[in-house]
Amino acid sequence: MSSELLEFVLHHIDDEWNRLLKDFIQFPPEAFQWQPDVNIHSVGWHVRHVIEWRYALVHVLLCGHTNAERLYCLGWENDPMVNELAANPGEWFEPKFSVQEDVVFADRVRAITTADIANLPPARWSEVKSFSWGTNRVLDESFEEARHSALHRGHIRELKKAFARRYATVGR
């Protein structure tokens, strides 16, 4: 892969990461951990999921490094490959991490995965990887991760609106 393409990839992944952080960094604890229903994840879960998924996908699955993190919010609770990485295989989990704890974790994962991507040998970008969700080149799967983050950022925004509506009507 050319240095221009690598710069393009890193720019867009970093841009999405900045957007995610901006969307959740000022949440109060009650809004961050609020669930509209017991079967709907909180903003805190979506945030943690995006961070953990980026780490699992880029660092472990694409780059082949050992998992050194306790991952609780990977989703894919029934997928055997994902369950091998999870600290709570097959379980629904609602995190109680604070916004600040997630910012610190996000910064650490961002540094790790940015270095992983930057250090991938150019030939690896066209390597094809198969997962239970599909088959993709490493380059394409890297972009899928950015789209995945944007999807969950949309969930975060909708939960923020639902929380505001819920608590605006409670005070009346």
pLDDT in tens, the chain (172 residues): 678 888 888 899 999 999 999 999 988 999 999 999 999 999 999 999 999 999 999 999 999 999 999 999 998 888 899 899 999 988 888 999 999 999 999 999 999 999 999 999 988 989 999 998 899 999 899 888 899 999 999 999 999 999 999 887 655 5
Can you give the pLDDT at residue 2?
Answer: 76
- For residue 112, which amino acid is it? I
User: Which residue is it, tokens 């952080």?
Assistant: 21
Question: What per-residue confidence (pLDDT) applies to 109?
Answer: 97
pTM above threshold 0.75: yes
Tell me the H-state helices in 80-137: 80-85, 99-119
**Containing structural domain, residue 73:** 3-170
| Contacting residues for 109 by C-beta, under 8 A, at least 6 apart | 51, 52, 54, 55, 59, 69
DSSP three-state, residue 71: strand
Separation of CA 83 from chain center: 16
Angstrom distances, CA of residue 43 to CA of 7, 22, 50, 162: 31, 13, 11, 11
> Looking at the 3D structure of the chain, how many domains does it have?
1
pLDDT of amino acid 77? 80
Whole-angstrom distance, CA of residue 65 vs CA of residue 81: 15
User: Cα torsion for 169, 165, 52, 133, to the nearest 10°?
Assistant: 130
Sequence-distant (≥ 6) Cβ neighbours of residue 32 within 8 angstroms: 24, 42, 43, 44, 47, 98, 99
Check which CATH number belongs to the domain holding 93 and give it: 1.20.120.450
pLDDT of residue 167: 85
Joined together, the tokens standing for residue 39 give 């079967």
Task: Report helix, strand or coil for 137.
Answer: strand
Check residue 170 and give its pLDDT. 57
